[in-house]
Amino acid sequence: MANAPSAPSSAPSKGGSGKPKLTRVLSVPDMIVYGLIFMVPIAPFGIYGGVFTESGGMPALVYVVGTLAMVFTALSYGMLIREWPVSGSVYAYTSRGLGKGIGFVSGWTLLLDYLLIPVLMYVVASTALSGIVPEVPPWAFSIVFVVANTFVNIRGIALTDIVNRIALVLEVLVLAVFVVLGVRWLLSDPASHGFTLQPLYNPSTFSLPLVFSAVSLGVLSFLGFDGIATLSEEAKDGRRGPGRAMMASLAIVGALFVLQTYIAGCISPDGAVFAHDQGNAFYLVAQVVGGRWLYVVCAVATALAWGIFTALAAQTAVSRILFAMGRDGGLPHALARIHPKYHTPYVATLFVGGLTLVLVLTFGQLGTDTISLFVNFGALTAFLLLHVTVIWYFFVKKRDGRWVAHLLVPLAGLAVIGYTWWGLDVPAKVLGVVWMAAGTAYYLVLRFVLKREVTLGG
């Protein structure tokens, strides 16, 4: 690992309460790479058709608004990370800021996001590869992806970081090829309409409800930045490093999203190129400027990025959340076991790998748009609770008087995320509410029937 030393050979460390703790080995560049890989620099490749249609032909605008919306959430994350530099993300912060009960439910809700993200990744990857190699069934690709990622995650965060760096270079190279060929085509091809503002603003279709409806789908591409928070306990500078990495990775990937969707929107402003095949929309646009070989390169890049690299990052994140909840007693304590050699939460990692495989084989036919909406419910609900935590803990409880940082910023985040949450489809909300109700019932049984106390660790 370039900037992070290998985990020490000693046994996993213990906190002051004797609870297991993860080893601090990650630098800010390591976490930026992780965030970029989780968000996928070429993420719009896989969902471009849906974003284009839902936004009325303004895909670049979706990512501009999405980036700005996520800035407020990243700032709230940074404030809470500095206060509590521990594993668990929103679960850890709400448990300490709002109470253990609300914290458990928020962690449970966040699991809906993180358990389904790998499923979505594998479905996108399998779809892309099966279009190239139809002889191999999609489920076969999924099995290979899950096994490979689970192995890497168990072997340690250092190996994960090495894989992430290689993946990032490959994704940026593919994106650079598309951008160069796309710009050349727009400047020289007789069929080109040239550069236009339409992908950013189309007066004939523009409306705020339309844009925010599309953002609820496009926001999926930004979910990786919050995954950095799950690594707080493994960061060298646990209080400031993750927040800095969040802002940097968000700015970088937001610029890349806008660039690629703007160029794709200019190549086919009306979407005619992919009118009959939205699932492969971006690849068909790439084929216009580079031929069949670029179609294949972009499809394979998407499959590898989502099916291996991003799913790897997602499984890393959810295993840390399960580790934190298991350590605190909200979930079985076995999930908090750390591998004596690799210093990873290996039981949680194995559980995530097995459950992900079951979910992929069971629900893989739902389609990426449907799974995306369910993922977004968990993420957006967790973000809402995150902003509430900042306001309650800092501005109300501690009364620190920082009304800009601890009131206006989270209120702005609440407004943007709340509007986007409200725009989610009804089935996504129904499933999300049922999931939250199940988590609430589980916690009540745990606390008042089984009389088990949840104690915060880290």
Spell out the residues 6+ positions from residue 246 whose beta carbon is closer than 8 angstroms to its own: 35, 74, 77, 78, 225, 226, 228, 229
DSSP bridge pairs for 210: none
User: Does residue 22 fall inside a structural domain?
Assistant: no
Q: What is the pLDDT of residues 28-49, one digit of tens each?
A: 998 998 888 888 899 898 789 8
User: Does residue 10 fall inside a structural domain?
Assistant: no
User: Does residue 20 fall inside a structural domain?
Assistant: no
Report the pLDDT value the prediction gives residue 9, as an integer from 0 to 100: 37
Reading the block at residue 443, the tokens are 């916690």
CA distance 285 to 299: 12
Is-contact 384 40, C-beta < 8 A? Answer: no
Lowest mean pLDDT among 78-82, 151-155, 224-228: 224-228
User: Does residue 457 fall inside a structural domain?
Assistant: no
Q: Which residue has the tokens 């104690």?
A: 455
> What's at 4, amino acid-wise?
A
Q: What is the pLDDT of residues 283-319, one digit of tens each?
A: 999 999 999 999 999 988 887 787 677 777 778 888 8
| CATH code of the domain covering residue 233 | 1.20.1740.10
User: Does residue 302 fall inside a structural domain?
Assistant: yes
Report the pLDDT value the prediction gives residue 458, as an integer from 0 to 100: 55
Q: How many structural domains is the chain composed of?
A: 1
Lowest mean pLDDT among 92-96, 132-136, 390-394: 132-136
DSSP bridge pairs for 235: 26
The whole domain housing 58 covers 28-447
User: Does residue 2 fall inside a structural domain?
Assistant: no
Mean pLDDT over each residue of the chain, to the nearest integer: 84
Is-contact 24 235, C-beta < 8 A? Answer: yes
User: Does residue 23 fall inside a structural domain?
Assistant: no
User: Does residue 9 fall inside a structural domain?
Assistant: no
257-289 burial: b if 16+ Cβ within 10 Å, else e:
bbbbbbbbbbbbeebebbeeebbbbbbbbbbbb
* Angle between helical axes of 208-218 and 59-83 (0-180°, round to 10): 60
Stretch 126-152: mean pLDDT: 81
> What's at 164, amino acid-wise?
N
